Structure 1
């Protein structure tokens, strides 16, 4: 290769008048035979002149020395970055680029920031559609995949969310987390919250006068997932002035929304009407259910209880 030949000739001339011994001769050989140096010279052949190669010899020495030190376990000058040979202002130079590990870590951090988890199990952070056990849950997995594909489609129209219903411990919450993580891969943000805990926190927000800001934070999420809805008794205020407001906004703005519940939609309607407590607020319950049905469709999640006994 012409570039390598020019570099070799320069190095030989540079050291010809110095009796620096075998160690320096070996250094020359390391530079000349370094795979990064060779690849750099090949890829920039159209930019390199003899003068550029001559002037850049010291930088090549510096680069090889740095790489050898790092390969031997030395601490990098800039943690998370590694030296790279570059052409800068028509001269050979060394720049620091993020390592593959840093790029991967930054990508994972950015992905994690897209999923807002409120009072959910920690393992939801690692939920993955590819790891979802399909036994008795093929329909649920197919629906989840279709939902993700619909949401990430550019300029999508109304996307029906999922109302995941099934027995305790069959994997409804995990599936919501897996969907959220899949959406994050496409840069779509999701808020995933445990609704019974959210309900308790909302009651506490009355004293701090933060009810409106809490509702606004949740209702505006690009994708919202309400987990375990209908698990505990509600007040009329929570049903109408909290959940009702959130669902009304999302219906008006046509924002993708998912739910999970141990109750079917029909059972949830009875629950919202207060029939389990002997009440009968049918109209108000129907109003909430109209919004839920507009935003989502019912998907049964089957299978056994997978939680530790």
Structure 2
């Protein structure tokens, strides 16, 4: 339907009167308007005539919604919304009141944007966070990783029911078994419950920290955010080239703050024992066993280990 203003502006007075009467009769015969009148018998002809523009918009929006072309191509005057009519008594007379109400697609979009705002991603492909997740598909895709998937699902459910846990998860497994994917699923599901989170790809994060040395504000903001988010994931820990400053002052500071406060999660190709050996060696000072142990004291007691089995799925559809 074209706009009411466009229809009426193209006519002279006689045409306008005739077309207005035709339009009023057509609107009154619309199922939506008949349903409205049936629900509100107190509405008289005078109120309907005065509210003709609202009725027109009401019918037009609902017709557009019935043939919805998608949120991005929404033809309604207020995209993602439709006109809703109610009848309220103002003074001694009932009157039509129109409001713009978000449609289901707009509400879904708002929920998705709200989830995205709760998640920070550092060097992790955003597609891993944005693609649709199907719990049944995740569980059945590879039977060898089903026990790990079950543990992650139980953790999500416990957090939904009981609130933020003090311990996180340490997902250990070979390349391409879906460890990062499972952590993104966890992050996405709990973000929908209102929890904030961040996922950090360790090899690139450690390299980027070098440039942050020249930008103290950015470094401080990044470290503070990682301390404060509800859920923090260090993805592919053990694959980075550590230096003493990153290990002792950045990682140590973040983990020291979070332990006994908020859960931290990890994905790795290393066992905890192998990770300790990795953390004990830096490219500057060589092997420093006690410093590796100090950091592991902030990791191992605060995670449950999840063995992720299965085949390498990278490069597959």
TM-score range, shorter chain: 0.7 to 0.9
Give the Å deviation of 1:168. Answer: 1.0
Selected match of 1:166 from 156, 173, 187: 173
Match of 1:118 in 2: 122
Q: Map Cα deviations across residues 25-74 of structure 1 (whole Å, 9 max, x no partner).
A: 6852x44443333443455x4xx63xx43442125533443245443689
Q: Contact 2:172–2:270 at 8 Å: present in 1 too?
A: yes
Secondary structure of the equivalent of 1:207?
A: coil
Which of 194, 205, 208 is residue 201 of structure 1 equivalent to?
208
Where does residue 152 of structure 2 map in the other structure? 144
Aligned to 1:11: none
Change (3 A) 1:160 1:246: same
- Equivalenced residue count is 282
Asked if residue 293 in structure 1 is aligned to residue 300 in structure 2, the reply is yes
Match of 1:7 in 2: none
Q: Is the 8 A contact 1:161 1:258 kept in 2?
A: yes
Q: What is the RMSD of the two structures over their aligned residues, measured on CA atoms?
A: 2.9
Once the two structures are overlaid, the 10-residue window that deviates more, 52-61 or 113-122, is 52-61
Q: Which residue of 2 aligns with 1:98?
A: 102
CA separation in 1, counterparts of 2:85 and 2:250? Answer: 58
What is the correspondence of 1:1-309 to structure 2 with a 5 Å cutoff? 24=21, 27-28=24-25, 30-43=26-39, 45=40, 49=42, 52-58=43-49, 61-70=52-61, 71=63, 75-88=75-88, 89=90, 90-125=94-129, 126=131, 128=133, 130=135, 131-132=137-138, 133-155=141-163, 158-210=165-217, 211-252=219-260, 254-274=261-281, 279-308=286-315
CA–CA distance in 2 between the matches of 1:113 and 1:238?
27
**Distance apart, 1:308 and its partner CA:** 1.2
Any unmatched runs of 5+ in structure 1?
1-19
Asked whether the 8 Å contact 1:127–1:175 carries over to 2, the reply is: no
1:3 alignment partner in structure 2:
none
2:204–2:240 CA contact under 8 A, matched in 1: no
The normalised TM-score by structure 1 is: 0.81
> Is the alpha carbon distance of 1:171 and 1:102 closer, same or farther for their aligned partners in structure 2, counting shifts above 3 Å?
same
1:150-179 Cα shifts (integer Å, max 9, x gaps): 2233455x4321101111111111111111
**Is residue 53–residue 92 contact of structure 1 (8 Å, CA) maintained in 2?**
no
* Distance in 2 (alpha carbons) for counterparts of 1:199 and 1:276: 13
Pick closer, same or farther for the CA change 1:129–1:101 going to 2, 3 Å.
closer
Q: CA deviation at 1:255?
A: 0.3
* Paired position in structure 2 for 1:17: none
What are the ranges of 5 or more consecutive residues in structure 2 without an aligned counterpart?
Answer: 1-16, 68-73
Q: Do the aligned partners of residues 129 and 68 (structure 1) sit closer, same or farther apart at CA in structure 2, a change above 3 Å counting?
A: closer
CA apart distance, 1:217: 1.7
Q: Distance in 2 between matches of 1:116 and 1:172?
A: 18
When residues 304 and 53 of structure 1 are mapped into structure 2, their CA distance, relative to the original with a 3 A threshold, is: same
